[in-house]
Amino acid sequence: MTRPYERMGRYIIKRLLTAVALLLVMSFVTFMLMRLTPGNYLDTLRLDPQISKDTLAYYEKLYQLDKPAWQQYLFWLAGLVRGEFGYSFYYNVPVAKIIGSRLGNTFILSFAAFLLTWMLAIPLGIWAALNRGRWGDRVAQFISYIVLSLPGFFVAMVLLFWASTTGWLPLGGMESPGAEDLSLWARSWDMFRHLIIPATALSLGSIAALQKIMRGNMLDVLGRQYILAARARGLPEHRVIYVHALRNAINPMITLLGYEFSALLSGAALMEIITSWPGLGSLMLTAVRSKDIYLVMASMMMGGVLFVIGNLLADIALAKADPRIQIK
Amino acid sequence: MNEAIVSVKNLTLALAESPATLILDDVSLVVPRGSIVGVVGGSGSGKTTLGLAMLGLIPSAMQVKTGKILWEDRDLLMRGPEELRRMRGARVSMSFQEAASAFDPVFTVGDQILEAMAAHNPSAGKLARQKMFDLLSLVEVPDPRRVAANYPHELSGGLRQRAMLALALSAKPSVLIADEPTSSLDVTLQARVMQLFRKLRRDLGLSIVLIAHDLGMVERLADEMVVLSKGCVVGKDHPYARALMSAQEM
């Protein structure tokens, strides 16, 4: 018999190998899409009469734009193995240099929204399930339906409009001008104020959806025989609900948590663009539009890696949480 | 005859939303101390609901129209929820038809037994583990230490059934309501569980309410029995009871 952690280790290695294959396919498809669509970044430069033909030829050679697409892809891949992400045409710096700070900014926004969502939705779902059919639950479910049918960008615009009329919150961006000179505490507070609108708009829909899922799980579990059996042996009601029902109702949420983690980078893109949050999403939009191919590739790979990690973590967590699930 | 430890007097239960629909209709039942009383009926006869009512667990979709449920001469319908909770498990307990669905799937068998013990006797401390192993041995679980460390789904059907009996008995109740204790088991395991019930009555002085559709099994085990049909207690010469008997003889 193999020991559990051995089995787990083998499982993780297997999953990581699959992930590498997945990322290879994903990068290849993205690369080809970028190359096969007409035009490249140098076309913008060609329109500029100040740039000589020699310079253009130099750039073409430097970035392998004169070679066939597959060679260019292999060149990029070889760079990636060496830890080089390539060069951004548009920003005129190595990709690694800009992507790091943008990644951090996106993570701040996504993580704030993520925390807000889970810390509100789970207790709300539990509360709604325990008060099913009472007016509080009905109001919560009614509001959830309304929120669910509102697109996030619309919520963001309404909030921005409200902020512009009241002046209570800053209108987009991540920091006020001159924030670099503030103390750490004042600067954090400033960022927090900038964070409120995008984080709220980003999480509102998720709170409504997740709350409904949690409520449903909880109601499902509360109707199970083992809950009746727990009451029949005289367990205190708080243990019946918060130990037995909750523990079983939360398991399906763990899988969702993995998906949410995967969507941390991509989910915020639209909100970043609307609220001009300097994150990866707005960077990627600029990159795709200007055909800044290496920047696009790096952003895509970030998203892909996070997706793979998120799902793997969720599967491991679920296997730990539910003894009936065996990892192979 | 011994004094009654639990009795149901003229209990009538109806659906809360349509009070004309009776789930139990004027049902009476006496469980003398140390006896085995059978409740026989087909599916939908109300026998499981009667069992739950004897624990004070009346489903929220139902309401009591008339009647009393007496535990040692006090009506449990008159008691508060916390008092009822403390009596459940410790005075009257229940085992369920499907052992697989009566255990919480995400905790080990041992943890669930310890939890039930602690709910009624928080000061048991270190002795609790030994008591748990003794209890598992009592219900004829071989290798109690291993079974206690297992999750419910890791046990075989027969073992799980006995582990569930241990769980129901963990707070030393004087009455056990056993809902279809053998219907999910094969014939040899059925015989073993019936033997076990006789032993529990003899060794613990346990009173047992045996709820089943299998008239033959109840007749062999029970000191007395009632037949339920569509929520009513029917006599032995009632056509339904006679149909059950003749089905048995075939």
Question: In the predicted model, what is the mean pLDDT of chain B?
Answer: 87
Nearest to A234 among B86, B103, B104 (CB): B86
**Partner-chain contact B101 A224, CB within 8 Å:** yes
Query: Domain check: are B84 and B191 in the same one?
Result: yes
> Would you call B105 and A248 a contact, using CB atoms and an 8 Å cutoff?
yes
- Final residue of a structural domain among A68, A93, A118: A93
| A264 band by pLDDT with thresholds 50, 70 and 90 | low
pLDDT in tens, B6-23: 999 899 999 988 888 888
pLDDT over threshold 60, residue A110: yes
pLDDT of residue A117: 92
Complex prediction ipTM: 0.90
As a 3-state breakdown, chain A gives helix, strand, coil percent values, each rounded to 5, of 75, 0, 20
A1: pLDDT strictly greater than 50: no
Q: Is the pLDDT at A131 greater than 90, yes or no?
A: yes
Is the CB of A323 less than 8 angstroms away from the CB of B105?
yes
Q: What is the pLDDT of residues B102-157, one digit of tens each?
A: 899 999 999 999 999 999 988 767 788 899 999 999 998 999 999 999 999 999 88
Give the domain extent around B233: 1-91+177-250
Q: How many domains, in total, are found in chain A?
A: 2
Residue A323 with chain B: CB contacts under 8 Å: 105-106, 151, 153
Domain count, chain B: 2
Last residue of a domain, one of B153, B172, B191: B172
Q: Do A89 and A237 fall into the same domain?
A: no
For residues B68 and B106, membership in a common domain is answered with no
Give the mean model confidence (pLDDT) for residues A60-70.
Answer: 78
Q: Which residues in chain A are contacts of B93 at CB distance < 8 A?
A: 232-234
Same domain flag for B193 and B86:
yes
A23 pLDDT more than 90 = yes
Instruction: Provide mean pLDDT across the span B51-67.
Output: 88
Question: pLDDT > 90: what percent of chain A?
Answer: 35
Q: How far apart are CA B29 and CA B9, in angstroms?
A: 7
**B85 and B205 part of one domain:** yes
Give yes or no: residues A261 and A137 share one domain: yes
Model confidence pLDDT, tens digit, residues A153-208: 899 999 999 998 998 888 888 888 877 888 888 889 999 999 999 999 999 999 99
Q: Could you tell me the pTM of the whole model? A: 0.83
Pair B199, B133 in one domain:
no
Cβ-Cβ contacts under 8 Å between A and B: the total is: 84
